Amino acid sequence: MHLFILRRLNGKDLNKVFKQVLGWLIAAIFFFPIYFWITVSIKKDKDIFALPPKLFNFEVSFSAYEEVFGISRFLYVEDMGAVRPGGGDFYMMPNLVDSIIIALGSTGLAMLISILAAYSLSRIPIRGQQHFMGWILSTRMMPPVAVAIPMFFIYKNIGLMDTHLGIIIIHALMNLPLAVLLMKSFFDDIPKDIDEAALLDGATRFFVFWRLIVPLAIGGIAATAVLCFIFSWTEFIFVLMLTQTGLKTIPVVSTSFVTSTGTAWDNMAALGTAAIIPAFIFILLVQRHLVRGLTLGSVKQ
Amino acid sequence: MTSQKSYSLPSFMNSDSSLPWLLPLITMLIVFAIIPFFYNIYLSFHEFVPAKRALLFVGWDNWIRLFTDGVFWGSLKVSLYYTFMCLVIQLVLGMGIALLIDSDDPGFGIIRSLLTLTLVIPPAIAGMIFLIMEDANYGLIPWLLKSIGLIGPEDTILADPTLALWGVMIVDIWQWTPFMVLILVAGLRSLPSEPFESAVIDGARPFQVFRRLTLPMLHKVIAVAVLIRGIDLWRMVDYVFVLTSGGPGTATYTLSLYSWQRFTFVQWGYGATISLFSLIVILIVGNAFIHFAKVKW
């Protein structure tokens, strides 16, 4: 058996095995911090701070999740007064709900605007189309701070400060360049003959768009929506600057676990893990279109 | 716009004019991108005066202050260094990994899937992950570096003026190298195989093939990846906010963080001026790059 393996490992085969090993090693290095973070969420304090780090041999405890999701509120009512690092409340369900509302709302808004615009950019050329696309792309370059500072004053004046609607609009704006350019690339993939044949048969533009093209592009629409959702879900600086007390999404609220009396690492990790797992599932679902999405539609897989 | 009565809007949108289709987009961009831009210019000529509790016109004061402010020049240097170093490291590392895992052998599909995972982690939470891993007392990374003797027993990463920026950059490199890998793998996979086969038959060495064939054929893909990554590196604020808040001292202030920090110190006009500077730089450099690298959308 041994000899057989050795014989197969010569020359090209050895090269292949080496590539496999190196490939998995690299994947392991990139996955390690995620694994480590998940273990922090189910460790007890003494194991979190252990050196050398305990990667496998730690006591498992789900109390951090119970606190974050508010299960402990029902289970251990008598512990409510206990002093914890930060002295605070780790009940995060309202923030999860805020995050979901904002991500869904901004995705819906961005998709609605971008599908209409992308269809038109793909099918009805306009004068100065290149400049228009360049303008959209330039919007993608704006540093969030440069938008958020003036937005802070505008929102204060029109009463959108600290509201779901305000954050939904700004996240939709942030995702518009991605959504428009990506949807245009998906529409460009659909032959224009379909439109022209239907228009010759007397169908209206909107009918062609809504009944023929949108159903054909549904895979691309789903992939674009998932990316918009993820970018809104992970966004930090707009929420930080355009909310004051009421409304905080997950990335922003998780920084509040660091306080002068200590850091509640297990709770922070539990919330972080809860926030990244849905994103993992989503991204694996649209993996086929991921590269096209990350390059705003310009590199196709 | 779709919640309208289904018979009224179609007639509105049936003409072959693109205006009704583009109108929502244009409205949105004007109201939420153009107006804030001009508002920012307005702010950069005003400043909040605490004694009068009002935003007053100050002329070019903010701009003069900008060019004489040592912290601003420091943060500009940090932003440039951060953007350039991360870009180079991510591109080189990404290309190496892409060449390695560009293969149809079983297993490499799973490796590619695993590499997509870092991309969807909220950057603020990625910062948190490394905050505990780089903690001075019980962090994994300082412990490892101390065991192999790279840093002294009393050294820290995030509290050290020279190491802190690298402590931040390592997060960016970890989270976004896979971005480069995935794009470059997609580029490599779309290359035709004939030129490579004939090059191998002609006896070209692997490095020659890479330099003379692979790189030129990938230039468009590389340009797009560099453009998008470069923009995001320049705008980055989450990691420094979480890991160092710009410290120790001002060693890890980037332009965005410094601008945000001035803003929270009620120097609204000056904060706006810094952010406007950062915006103008990226607009000029980004569009010049698009022009000269002939990137097309």
Residues B186, B101: contact at Cβ < 8 Å? no
CATH number of the domain that residue A137 is part of: 1.10.3720.10
Q: Please choose, from the candidates B180, B132, B121, the residue with its C-alpha nearest in 3D space to the C-alpha of residue B157.
A: B132
Considering the domain architecture, whether residues A107 and A160 belong to the same structural domain is answered as yes
A231 touches B at CB < 8 Å:
no
Contacts 24+ apart (CB under 8 A), A53-59: A53/B140, A53/B143
Question: B156 falls in which pLDDT band (50, 70, 90)?
Answer: confident
pLDDT of residue A12: 63
Helix (H, G, I), strand (E, B) or coil at B161: coil
Is a pLDDT exceeding 70 seen at residue A62? yes
Residues A111 and A240 in one domain: yes
Query: Which of B17, B103, B122 has its CB closest to that of A19?
Result: B103
Q: How confident is the model at residue A1 (pLDDT cuts 50, 70, 90)?
A: very low
In a domain, A199, yes or no: yes
Task: Note whether A151 and A207 are same-domain residues.
Answer: yes
pLDDT at B221 over 50: yes
Do the Cβ atoms of A37 and B129 come within 8 Å? yes
A136 and A11 inside one domain: no
Residues of A (31-90) whose Cβ lies below 8 Å from B:
31, 33-34, 36-37, 40, 48-53
| Residues of chain B positioned with their CB less than 8 A from the CB of A140 | 231
* CB within 8 Å of chain A, chain B residues 201-260: 221, 224-225, 228, 231, 234-235, 237-238, 241-242, 255-256, 259-260
Show the tokens assigned to A242. Answer: 């355009």
Q: Give domain status of residue A85, yes or no.
A: no
pLDDT surpasses 60 at A76: no
Residue A27 lies in a domain: yes
In a domain, residue A64? The reply is no
Q: Among B280, B254, B262, which Cα is nearest to B65's?
A: B262
- Is the pLDDT at A87 greater than 50? The verdict is no
Note the helical H segments in chain B: 8-12, 19-29, 35-44, 61-68, 70-101, 108-116, 123-133, 140-147, 164-189, 194-201, 206-209, 215-217, 219-235, 238-243, 255-264, 268-292
Residue A243 lies in a domain: yes
Task: Calculate mean pLDDT across residues A186-205.
Answer: 91
Domains of chain B in sequence order: 71-292 (1.10.3720.10)
The SS3 call for residue B155 is coil
Q: Are A237 and A111 part of one and the same domain?
A: yes
Q: Are residues A23 and A150 in the same domain?
A: no
Mutation target to probe the A interface, by most A beta carbons within 10 A, among B21, B119, B141, B144 is B21
Per the structure, the complete domain to which residue A28 belongs is given by 1-56
Task: Give how far A78 is from chain B: nearest CA, Å.
Answer: 31
Token output for A143:
């540093």
pLDDT of residue A91: 81
Dihedral in degrees, nearest 10, Cα atoms A117, A121, A124, A128: 120
pTM for the complete prediction?
0.90
Q: Is the pLDDT of residue A37 over 80?
A: yes
Q: A55: burial class by Cβ within 10 Å (0-12, 13-18, 19+)? A: exposed
Mind listing the pLDDT tens digit for each residue in A209-224? Answer: 999 999 999 999 999 9
Tell me chain B's radius of gyration from C-alpha atoms.
24
Same-domain check for residues A230 and A122: yes
Nearest in space to B277 (alpha carbons), one of B75, B85, B88? B75
Lowest mean pLDDT among A50-59, A133-142, A230-239, B62-71: A50-59
Q: What is the pLDDT of residues B7-41, one digit of tens each?
A: 445 555 656 788 889 999 999 999 888 999 999 99
SS3 of residue B148 by DSSP: coil
- CA A105 to chain CA mean position, Å: 14
Number of H helices, E strands in chain A: 17, 2
Q: Report the half-sphere exposure of A226 (CA within 13 A, side-chain side).
A: 23
A278 in contact with B at a CB cutoff of 8 Å?
A: no
Rounded distance between C-alpha atoms, residue B56 and residue B194, angstroms: 68
pLDDT, one tens digit per residue, over B77-135 is 999 999 999 999 999 999 999 999 988 888 888 999 999 999 999 999 999 999 999 98
Mean local confidence (pLDDT), A232-253: 90
Domain boundary among A56, A73, A102: A56
Strand partners, A262: A259
- Is the same domain home to A180 and A113? yes
How many structural domains are present in chain A?
A: 2
- ipTM confidence: 0.89
Å from B220 to nearest chain A CA? Answer: 9
Preferred mutation among B125, B238, B289 to probe A, highest tally of A CBs within 10 A: B125
Is residue A77 predicted with pLDDT exceeding 60? no
Q: Which tens digit of pLDDT belongs to each residue from A136-172?
A: 999 999 999 999 999 999 999 999 999 999 999 999 9
User: CA of A48: which chain B residue's CA is closest?
Assistant: B138
CA geometry: angle B105, B106, B111, nearest 5 deg: 100
Residues A31 and A118 in one domain: no
- Position A270 in a domain: yes
With an 8 Å Cβ cutoff, are A144 and B256 in contact?
yes
Would residue A263 count as lying in a domain? yes
A300, part of any domain: no
Q: Are A79 and A86 in contact (CB under 8 A)?
A: no
Q: Using CB atoms and an 8 Å cut-off, which of residues 236-265 of chain A contact chain B?
A: 236-237, 240-241, 250-252, 254-255, 258, 265
Q: Do A133 and A253 lie in a common domain?
A: yes
- The answer to whether residues A192 and A246 belong to one domain is yes
Does A146 share its domain with A7? no
Cβ contact A23–B178 (<8 Å): no
A190 CA: distance to closest CA in chain B (Å): 17
| Å between B167 CA and nearest CA of chain A | 14
Length of chain A: 301
